[in-house]
Amino acid sequence: MDSVKNQSTSITNINAKKSINQTTANQAKELVIKRDDVTGVRGVNTNKELLIAIMVPQMDRFQLKAIEKSVKEELTKEYPDYKVQVSTDQKMFLELDILERKLEKGKTGEKELKKELGNIKSLMKEEA
Amino acid sequence: MSNKKKKKLTPVQQEYQAFQDQRETKRPVFKNCMKAFLTGGIICLIGQAIQTFYIYFFDFTDQTAGNPTVATLIFISMLFTGFGVYDRIAQFGGAGSAVPVTGFGNAVISAAIEHRTEGFVLGVGGNMFKLAGSVILFGVFSAFVIATIKTILITWGGL
């Protein structure tokens, strides 16, 4: 429904495009992938939040928590305007990957993006 | 047999002991270890596959996918025990099939099947947890103790 609406009214379209501008996420991804202990990064941002999922190779997984923390600190320093969330979870990586592809196709509106991000975040909060 | 006991034996007995040691078939410890390693490893590989399946196709994260994985593995091992397949695996793998969580399912179900002839209440119900009951009790009790220690540390120790 939303995407159809966005296409028909030009003003909403521009706004939607502005709000789902992914340059911050792209920059952050390039910054994080430079680390030796990170082999894969997926990330999405809204205008207030930045969600990043990282993949850590086998032997470095012993320092999983420490790596997660240091990546988060690095990104918070780089982007103080955003609320940064970093996860090493496989599920988060997967979901963000799907979301990124959706964004690339340009079919996802701002509302949809926020809803998806909310879903992902609530998934992360669950504990075993 | 310890050295102390050996000294008490008569010469004839000692002779026999030596003879017996010579004839006794040696246990293939290393081979058994390798078998157990492989069997346990394959069970864990299947478990990992199930876990990945739950992460990809359901709303489970790395943290929460463990519970349904364990449930599925126990269910599969229960079916295998009922069909008599797990006995064969255990004969080959030894500890490799008893240590993973599938061994726990096997312990419950095999006891239940064994005592089925004694009736459902006194037979199955009374004997089902003969082997695995101690495992459950130990797990619950140690969890209780650890939780108590943690609570005390957090509230009084300010961790």
Report pLDDT digits (tens) over B40-65: 999 999 999 999 999 999 888 888 89
pLDDT digits (tens, 9 = 90+) for A33-86: 888 888 888 888 887 888 888 888 888 888 888 898 998 898 888 888 888 888
Q: Is residue B18 part of a domain?
A: no
B95 with B147, same domain: the answer is no
Q: Are A22 and A44 in contact (CB under 8 A)?
A: yes
**Residue among A91, A124, A126 minimizing CB distance to B55:** A91
Range of B158's domain?
Answer: 133-159
Whichever domain contains A26, its CATH number is 3.30.70.2210
B83 with B45, same domain: the answer is yes
Say yes or no to pLDDT of A90 above 60: yes
Say yes or no to pLDDT of A5 above 50: no
Q: Which residues in A lie closer than 8 A to residue B66 (C-beta atoms)? A: 128
pLDDT tier for residue A27 given thresholds of 50, 70 and 90? confident
B103 with B145, same domain: the answer is no
Q: Which residues in A lie closer than 8 A to residue B67 (C-beta atoms)? A: 128
B53 with B105, same domain: the answer is yes
B87 with B142, same domain: the answer is no
Q: Where are the alpha helices (DSSP H) in A1-128?
A: 2-8, 10-19, 23-33, 64-78, 90-105, 110-125
pLDDT tier for residue B2 given thresholds of 50, 70 and 90? low
Q: What is the pLDDT of residue A13?
A: 34
| ipTM value > 0.85 | no
Distance between CA atoms of B61 and B55, rounded to whole angstroms? 6
B73 with B93, same domain: the answer is yes
Domain count, chain A: 1
SS3 A6: helix
Q: Is residue B121 part of a domain?
A: yes
Domain count, chain B: 2
B84 with B121, same domain: the answer is yes
Tell if the CB–CB gap between B63 and A128 is shorter than 8 Å: yes
From residue A82, alpha-carbon distances to A22, A28, B153 in Å are 13, 11, 35
Q: Is residue B5 part of a domain?
A: no
Range of A100's domain?
Answer: 2-127
